[in-house]
Amino acid sequence: DIQLTQSPSFVSASVGDRVTITCRASRDVKSWLAWYRQKPGKAPELLIYTTSTLQRGVPSRFSGSGSGTSFTLTISSLQPEDFATYYCQQAYSFPLFTFGLGTKVDVK
Amino acid sequence: QVTLKESGPVLVKTTETLTLTCTVSGFSLSNAKMGVSWIRQSPGKALEWLSHISSNDEKSYSTSLKSRLTVSKDTSKSQVVLTMTNMDPADTATYYCARLTRGYGDAFDFWGQGTLVTVSS
């Protein structure tokens, strides 16, 4: 099974900060990587798929990059609604999937 | 609009079998591009993918839970059903169903609200 390792596990930040989260895959997943935001008590919501494609309706402050085994989610200017937990997910091994363990972004 | 909604028991006992139903609307389970996965989240923990069923009825399961899971669908009822046998307190979690659309990175673009299942001994 493909494992996904996210870092850091926790980020303390302020509104307006630039935040970067990394996801590393245990083997090459090409560009088959997605990112989700999960607000407390809510279901996850898709932000980005195939590494860098923004899901419809997602603000442009979110961006993704990378390929192979190393990927990055960047929030250019953190907003109040972005204090949440973020997960990466690989789909290279479709129809088997894996999620990372998450990165929690909280208030500094 | 696209919606998914999970339903099933709130409480199950150890060793019992859990049956969850995901009722979808706004798309058809027979659409070649659509599939539905089950994903769970134990309290305070990460998301864990469990099972997937594609439009052509292809089924897949988490390696670690494969022996306990069965997924099926009833296209006419717009429902996907997951059964998990031999429930344990460690299976206490919120269970989500989510839609996957092929051609869009094979990511989960719509999710149900989730249903919390507690397993008691």
Confidence of residue B105 (pLDDT cuts 50, 70, 90): confident
* B2-32 tens-digit pLDDT: 999 999 999 999 999 999 999 999 999 999 9
Give A60-79 pLDDT, tens digit per residue: 999 999 999 999 999 999 99
- Does B121 score more than 90 pLDDT? no
Identify the band that residue A102 occupies on the pLDDT scale cut at 50, 70 and 90. very high
Q: Does A36 touch chain B (CB under 8 A)?
A: yes
Beta-carbon separation of B52 and A97 below 8 A: yes
- Whose CA is closest to B37, among B115, B100, B118, B83? B100
Residue B75 has pLDDT above 90, yes or no: yes
Residue A89 CA to residue A29 CA, distance in Å, equals 10
Q: For B8, which DSSP code?
A: -
Q: Cβ–Cβ of B47/A45 closer than 8 Å? A: no
Confidence (pLDDT) at A49: 97
| Mean per-residue pLDDT of chain A | 97
Q: Name the nearest CA neighbour of B75 among B60, B88, B56, B59.
A: B56
A-chain residues near B106 (CB < 8 A): 32, 34, 49, 91, 94
> Is there a contact between B60 and A46 if contact means CB atoms under 8 Å apart?
no
What is the percent of chain A where pLDDT is above 90? 100
Cβ separation A55–B114 shorter than 8 A: no
Partners of A12 in the beta sheet?
Answer: A106
Collapsed DSSP state (helix, strand, coil) of residue B44? coil
Whether the pLDDT of residue B97 is over 90: the answer is yes
What chain A residue is nearest to B103 in terms of C-alpha separation? A50
pLDDT at A7: 97
With 90 as the cut, is the pLDDT of residue B103 above it?
Answer: no
Q: In whole angstroms, what is the distance from residue B10 CA to residue B26 CA? A: 26
pLDDT tens profile B28-46: 999 999 999 999 999 999 9
Q: Using a CB-CB distance cutoff of 8 angstroms, which residues of chain B are in contact with residue A50?
A: 104-105, 107
Interior/surface letters A64-83, b for 16+ CB within 10 angstroms, e for the rest: bebeebebbbebeebeeebb
Looking at every residue in chain B, the average pLDDT score rounds to 97
Q: Residues 6 or more apart from B64 whose CB is under 8 A from it?
A: none
Torsion over CA: A46, A48, A53, A58 (sign):
positive
Q: What is the pLDDT of residues A15-61, one digit of tens each?
A: 999 999 999 999 999 999 999 999 999 999 999 999 999 999 999 99
Residue of B nearest to A3 (CA): B48
